[in-house]
Chain A
Amino acid sequence: MELEPMDDFEKELRQTFERQPAPPGMKGKIMARRRVSEPRSHAVLWQRLAASLALAAVLGGVVEWNWHLREERRKGEAARQQVLTALRITNHALNHMNKQLAAHGRAVQE
């Protein structure tokens, strides 16, 4: 469909509604939240590490012990991320609830 050429008012709108830059640090927050919610990269890292250590275990018992320690660490990190997910959702629910209560409180006042 061919659009009509923009008049001056529409050009003003186009200029006014230019995209605004995202707040500084927003990308960092996104990446941080992504790490909390998706441990894919950790899983890949730990999978690769476990595979290497399994091979080395054939050569000596010390490596087998190190693998055990790392497994413990992996499980700990997985548990930690579960906790963070739980708290994030709790925070979100509490915030929403507070907004609801605040709004209804205002409605009652009116």
Chain B
Amino acid sequence: MAHDWQPDFEQLVDEHQSMVFSLALRMTGDRGLAEEIAQDVFLELDRNLGKIESQPHACFWLRRVAMNRSTDALRRRRVHGINLWVEMEDRHGIKVEERASPLGARLEQLLATLPEPQRAALVLRYQEELTPEEIAATLEAPLATVKSNLQRGLKLLRAKAGVYLKEYIRGT
């Protein structure tokens, strides 16, 4: 397949490494695992560089593979009765009170408590600012499913954040 644009692997790493890492981090909640996933994603990109047709295609490809690999990693990892809130603090290495916005820090933690399909939809919507159609293409999921996950995920997140806000206000 002939195309004029030639991918530069190192440039693609420079441009997209924070995107790939952040996607893996928000899906898995584990910095070490997210870095491993991010490395694997770029090595897979290297193996498939000939198929990348353009910059937007590279971005789309990286997002899709990052999400796939994150989901795979979550499936492989065993989670038994972990206190996710505590673990999120430890993994991110940032104490809640150190963040500029305590609500923001708590939202990160709450994200990890959502079911994976909702988490994936929300991360792509609010981190990557994708439309539902773009999210559906990235996740290879039906549009209706994506919209439903966005709606439910947002509703759940609001409800949990609402509970937290009330507690936070009472605490001050």
Contact B131 A12 (CB under 8 A): no
Q: Which residues of B contact A27 (CB under 8 A)?
A: 10, 13-14, 17
Whether the pair B80, A110 counts as a contact (CB closer than 8 A) is yes
CB-defined contacts of A34 to chain B, threshold 8 Å: 9, 42-43, 46
Is the pair A106, B21 in contact by a Cβ cutoff of 8 Å? Answer: no
Selected from A1, A14, A19, A104, the residue in CB contact (under 8 A) with B131 is A1
In the bound complex, do residue A26 and residue B38 qualify as a contact, i.e. CB atoms below 8 Å apart? yes
Whether A23 lies near B13 (C-beta < 8 A) is no
B14 touching A23, Cβ below 8 Å: no
Interface size class of B (residues with CB under 8 A): 35 or more
When distances are taken between beta carbons in the complex, the residues of chain B under 8 Å from A22 are 17-18, 20-21, 35, 38
Q: In the complex, which residue of chain A has the Cβ closest to the Cβ of B106?
A: A16
Residues A26 and B17 in contact in the complex (CB < 8 Å), given A37-B43, A106-B78, A107-B78: yes
Which residues of chain B are near A1, meaning CB under 8 Å? Answer: 131-133
With both beta carbons as reference points, the residue of chain B lying nearest to A109 in the complex is identified as B80
Asked whether A38 lies within 8 Å of B76 as measured between CB atoms, the reply is no
**B22 at interface by CB-CB < 8 Å:** yes
Residue numbers in A under 8 Å from B104 (CB-CB): 12, 15-16
Taking the complex as formed, is A45 at the interface, i.e. its CB lies under 8 A from any CB of chain B?
no
Chain A residues whose C-beta falls within 8 Å of the C-beta of B132 in the assembled complex: 1, 3
Q: Which of B10, B78, B127 is in CB contact (< 8 Å) with A19?
A: B127
Shortest beta-carbon distance from A39 to chain B in Å = 12
Decide if A43 is an interface residue (CB 8 Å cutoff).
no
Question: Per-residue 0/1 for A1-14: is the Cβ within 8 Å of any B Cβ (1 yes, 0 no)?
Answer: 10100000110111
Question: Does B112 touch A at the CB level, under 8 Å?
Answer: no
A-side residues, CB < 8 A to B, are: 1, 3, 9-10, 12-23, 26-27, 29-31, 33-34, 37-38, 96, 99-100, 102-104, 106-107, 110
20 CB < 8 A contacts A-B: A3-B131, A3-B132, A10-B154, A16-B107, A16-B108, A16-B126, A21-B18, A22-B18, A22-B35, A22-B38, A27-B17, A29-B39, A30-B38, A34-B42, A103-B77, A103-B78, A104-B78, A106-B78, A107-B78, A110-B80
What residues of chain B have their CB less than 8 Å away from a CB belonging to chain A? 9-10, 13-14, 17-22, 25-26, 31, 35, 38-39, 42-43, 46-47, 76-78, 80-81, 101, 103-104, 107-108, 111, 122-123, 126-127, 129, 131-133, 154, 157-158, 161
